[in-house]
């Protein structure tokens, strides 16, 4: 079973960056909370709607706070709206 995105949503996979250094803190947070100081993050497009011009497998840049996660049948999906994409990474030929 796969999540088929509608209404300009993209199913994405977060791209793990350099592992963040953990520091001691006096604030207690749930284990599933990730702290990320970067306002932007790179994600890979896994699936898009039929009307999307974005290409599956592309690496796109989005604001970190707009990546939504939802879990169905013990599988977590990450989604972002196309309108939040600020660009994509492209390797130059030269």
Dump pLDDT digits (tens) for 50-92.
Answer: 889 999 999 999 999 999 999 998 999 999 999 999 999 887 7
Residue 22 within any structural domain of the chain: no
Strand order in the sheet with 87-88: 68-72, 75-81, 9-14, 40-48, 59-63, 87-88
* Whether pLDDT at 94 is above 80: no
Domain of residue 68, CATH code: 2.30.33.40
pLDDT value, residue 59:
96
For residue 12, what are the β-bridge partners? 45, 78
What's the full length of the chain, in residues?
A: 94
Residue 24 lies in a domain: no
49 within some domain: yes
Model confidence over 20-61: pLDDT tens digits? 444 555 677 777 766 656 899 999 999 998 889 999 999 999
Mean pLDDT of 5-32: 72
Question: How many independent structural domains does the chain possess?
Answer: 1
**What range does the domain containing 77 cover?**
1-16+38-94
Do 34 and 69 touch, CB atoms closer than 8 A?
Answer: no
Predicted pLDDT of residue 40: 93
């Amino acid at each position: 079973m796969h999540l088929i995105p509608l209404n300009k949503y993209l199913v994405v996979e977060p791209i793990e960056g350099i592992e963040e250094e953990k520091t001691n803190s006096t604030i207690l947070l749930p284990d599933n909370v990730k702290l990320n100081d970067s306002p932007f993050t790179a994600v890979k497009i896994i699936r898009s709607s039929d009307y999307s011009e974005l290409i599956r497998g592309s690496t796109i840049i989005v604001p970190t706070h707009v990546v939504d996660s939802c879990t169905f049948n013990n599988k977590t999906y990450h989604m972002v709206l196309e309108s939040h994409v600020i660009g994509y990474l492209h390797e130059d030929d030269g």
